[in-house]
Amino acid sequence: MVTITIDDRDYQAQEGTSVLEAARSNDIPLPTLCYHPSLRPSGSCRLCAVEVPGRSSGRAVTMLACVLKVKSGLVVKTRGDAVNRARTRAFRNLLQMAPQAQNIIALAESYDIDPGPPSDGCVRCRLCVRVCKEIVGPAALKMEKRDGMNYVVPIEGLCIGCGTCANICPTDVIFVEDQDNVRIISIRNEVIGRHPLERCEGCGKQYATPKFLNHIHKRTSSHTEVKAHHNYCPTCAKLFSDRIKTFDDRTQR
């Protein structure tokens, strides 16, 4: 048996066993996911980081308790800034691979480690930002850094309710919901736009927002071949195309 120091207290431990085993035998908790007493430790999850003096410099370094062997006079810290930084990196790396793993999130929180923002399904491709600015025009979305990570966020008041951002999103994390005469476009728990819906004069279907129709009218008003303004949905506009053209002819006489 040899004497080691863990968190400023001396303990007896069997030489050659791991620091993890020594700590747990003395009811000192250390987080692990990849460790099992029947298997050789691999250090894959990297959660059991502890702080020890460096071999040559004496400066504190972090090592993995599951593979670090006990030896006489070893001084170990299971808490502190360096340990927290190492564990935070390890937890967040794991959650990148398994973002919905509630057991990993709960384990991190039990050690006072912030697991970071939950995965939102957005891959930061910026297609929604670009199409809204470069094709549709309103530029109602932007990238914003929050807690060191970029997020797609709305710019208040600019959304016209067209839904193009949702249609182009490759991971379907932007939602369009038409309910009770209102269209709501959202990403995560943030509303991009909330709009009333216009009703088609032909079939009565609620099909577009006033802001969208007004936007299209302004974008096409200078085109010589544009027909008169009407409130027909695309289906009825095709069905009644002759009627709309006749109306155009009358207005031009």
Give the per-residue pLDDT at 199: 84
pLDDT bin (cut points 50, 70, 90) of residue 174 is very high
User: What class has domain 2-110?
Assistant: alpha beta
Give the per-residue pLDDT at 104: 94
The pTM of the full predicted model, rounded to 2 decimals, is 0.59
Give the per-residue pLDDT at 215: 86
The domains spanning 2-110 and 127-196 adopt the same CATH topology: no
Which carries the bigger pLDDT value, residue 153 or residue 243?
Answer: 153
Give the per-residue pLDDT at 34: 94
Give the per-residue pLDDT at 250: 44
Asked: is 127-196 a CATH 2.30.30 domain? The reply is no
Instruction: Compute the 3-state secondary structure of the chain and give helix, strand, coil in percent, each to the nearest 5.
Output: 30, 25, 45
Residue range 35-65, pLDDT digits in tens: 999 999 999 999 999 999 877 666 889 999 9
DSSP per-residue letters across 113-178: ----SPP-S-----HHHHIIIIII----EEEEEETTEEEEEEPTT---S--HHHHH-TT--EEEEE
Residue range 91-122, pLDDT digits in tens: 999 998 888 788 999 999 999 999 887 778 88
- Per-residue pLDDT for 246 more than 50? no
DSSP per-residue letters across 23-82: HHHTT-----SS--TTS-----S---EEEEE-SSS--EEEEETTTPBP-TT-EEBSSSHH
Instruction: Break the chain into its structural domains and give their ranges.
Output: 2-110, 127-196, 199-252
Mean pLDDT of the chain: 87
